[in-house]
Amino acid sequence: MIVWLNGTFGVGKTTTSRLLTELLPDARIFDSETVGYMLRPVLASVPVADFQDHPPWRALVVETAAQILGYVGGTLVVPQSVLVRAYWIELRDGLAKSGIPLRHFVLHAAPLTLAARIDSDPEGIGIRRWRHDHVAPYADALPWLREEGEIVETVDVAPDEVARRIAAAVSA
């Protein structure tokens, strides 16, 4: 099974994924960004705004997940923002074709809460600016994300409670 944690940058996907792996049996984090990092030097001559724009990224995420699950089983928790619906559909359908059950959760926070979280991030001004720049694309994607995923509100909810709610939904 794959538990995909979607949402805008800075909403708490990484923190939630760490906590979630402690609650789900045989769960591990699969950071699909590493596939993008692998492709970056190989596809440097093909300019894109984001590594997700490379079709091989989407195909390799599906194939890598299938290979990992075939090797060790269990559950993969994927903390990855996917804000382009066509890309999500390609990933979703590829996982289904590979016979991999998928639960798609969208971590959500109100704009003011999200801005405060981003502004308090110790990572530095560059990453904070980058995260702020991606709030509008997330807002644009939210209508289809509501259709494709299960919204998990994170305002006034501690990360461990968010993880517990997702674990309960997955286990039900």
- pLDDT band for position 27 (cuts 50, 70, 90): very high
Mean pLDDT check: name the lowest of 2-11, 74-83, 90-99: 2-11
Nearest in space to 118 (alpha carbons), one of 130, 128, 133? 128
Q: Say if residue 128's pLDDT is above 90.
A: no
Looking up tokens 């259709």 gives 147
Give tens-digit pLDDT for 84-105: 999 999 999 999 999 999 999 9
Q: Decide if pLDDT at 124 tops 80.
A: no
CA-CA distance, 113 to 130, in Å (whole number)?
A: 17
Rounded to whole angstroms, the Cα distance separating 83 from 52 reads 10
Distance, CA of 133 to CA of 50 (rounded, Å): 13
Residue 130, pLDDT > 80, answer no
Residues 139-166 have a mean pLDDT of: 95
Pairing between β-strand 102-108 and β-strand 2-6 as defined by DSSP bridges: parallel
Residue 133 CA, distance from chain mean position: 17
**Which domains can be identified in the chain, with CATH numbers?**
2-171 (3.40.50.300)
Q: Is the pTM of this model over 0.85?
A: yes
Distances from the Cα of 165 to the Cα of 8, 153, 159, 170, angstroms: 19, 10, 10, 9
Cα 101 from chain centre: 16
Question: Distance between CA atoms of 139 and 136, rounded to whole angstroms?
Answer: 5
Which pLDDT value is given to residue 110?
84
Where does the pLDDT of residue 23 fall: very low under 50, low under 70, confident under 90, or very high at 90 and above? Answer: very high
**In which band, very low, low, confident or very high, does the pLDDT at 112 lie, cut at 50, 70 and 90?**
confident
Whole-number mean pLDDT of the chain? Answer: 93
For residue 121, what pLDDT is reported?
74
Which amino acid is located at 112 in the chain? L
